[in-house]
A and B are shown apart, each in its own frame.
Chain A
């Protein structure tokens, strides 16, 4: 009898200690006067934040206020992260791939409507969409239309789960749209644009759940001939001594990634001060310099660091394409150019 009770007690004790071990705070010391920030970010910024920005901010905060701040970090595909925060994940700061995902949070009453009313319009990083390819560029990939060539294996992530995928596809869509508009003097040939998207999609080998997974598939597992990705992802690989050659197409899309304080969470956690400070840190000169180390272009157009990045001939933005909502409907909506690729295949 006694041994059974002992065993039961032991098991319960182990269960509790296991849970406690698994539940411990993740990074940074938690002093009695410690602040905590819960970060909900997209997967691509993981290294930049985990290795550089967070430790730098912790130091900055200690110097400024004498308090320690610890971080609980979650990195996920942008769409997944946005959905998680909208459905109740109580991140204090949301760092997402694009404003469309941020708007989701506004609509779910997590983020205030005026999140983009600041000097940088809520944007903390810039990058451009580029195409990574194999060494020596055996398939001769120089522009978006080359992705549609037969025999080219293309990688980009699934727009359903990845914000990054939307940047990629929007870049292809946008360049074709603007070129078509310029050629025809105003009214673009949507059928041709749709056709390009379709032919590129036909070459896609695998649609991973996030941009990071696509990069891993391309470089670690040797899949595909071309990966459509962010410039900063490529530069990060160079930094990690696993370089990938890439080409910046003539006309490409400026990637503007936002960050915002999640009001519903900071109200609950009572850490608005430190969360806002963190956000400000990201666009400060120190923060931007750290981000540049990880391949992100500075947000300030006057910044001298910008000169080190290649300048594409035609850089367009989402605003040039009509904004996120317009593109959402035109490309990913029920009758959208990209969605139609699959309904046409309907068996």
Chain B
């Protein structure tokens, strides 16, 4: 990433089994993903001197280190919600380039589906429990879906985006999921299926919402020098950036149609020395269909307001304007709560030519973009097969 001597690469990636893991603890999901990512790289836990992960308790990374029997000298548990893992890989890249660590294991694990089941579906909304200022938006029975619905409604009002355009995102993700044997939902759906599915929070229907899964994923960040002796061709961390506009109060988001991707995207692309035109394949956080429409605009793949038209007519399919979420995404494949790590795994697989039926021919530059909270945070990671 930097112009320095050491250059950060992703040397190994893996997902755990998913989407339903009632027999595994949350930490065991970390372990399964970690073992597989290290094996993919040709490494073992003994090679790891850094650990990065995010969860919902303080000292979370310390706990995962203990469970894995690691005594790392580099720890990071920055939590920006669903975008955490793009941030953690960004930080890990800086760390290995600075020499603060040689090999950083980045892991994610969740058993959200088994632990809480479908009742989490709308993100609670009882209110009264929010810490500090977050109470202000927590008194109204709003739900997680409701927050994204407010953004969708505003985008429709300002730009004429239609429910059918939003639905097109879900339809394409399902097409991709049909080729992923692990995907939670694989049966083909149509735009009509989406817009006639139950409204959860107008204008978002059930099929505009991600699935709820168990699952985990991991990657190994090290230097190009170290990776030269390893099992896989390295994938370079070309550039990264993250941004935030608000915490849990959507009322504090300046413009509901502009996400933090509008800051993180241009910064990450500039740091990588690329433009949106150079991107061959994208893995974009798809908590809800509107999340993808906002993200393609904010990352500069189309102009603000044109996201609806951009995603229509197989715009996000392989062979389309921007092949996106080639594993089926959170909308169909797997969404265990903070999906960001899965985006990185699929981006790396695309750059290695390992993406199977949804492989983008000769993919050289991939973007993974995570979105966290209530459109609160965005983190963009630009990965490449070679240094441009």
To the question of whether A and B form a pair in one complex, the answer is no
Q: Which residues of B contact A (CB under 8 A)?
A: none
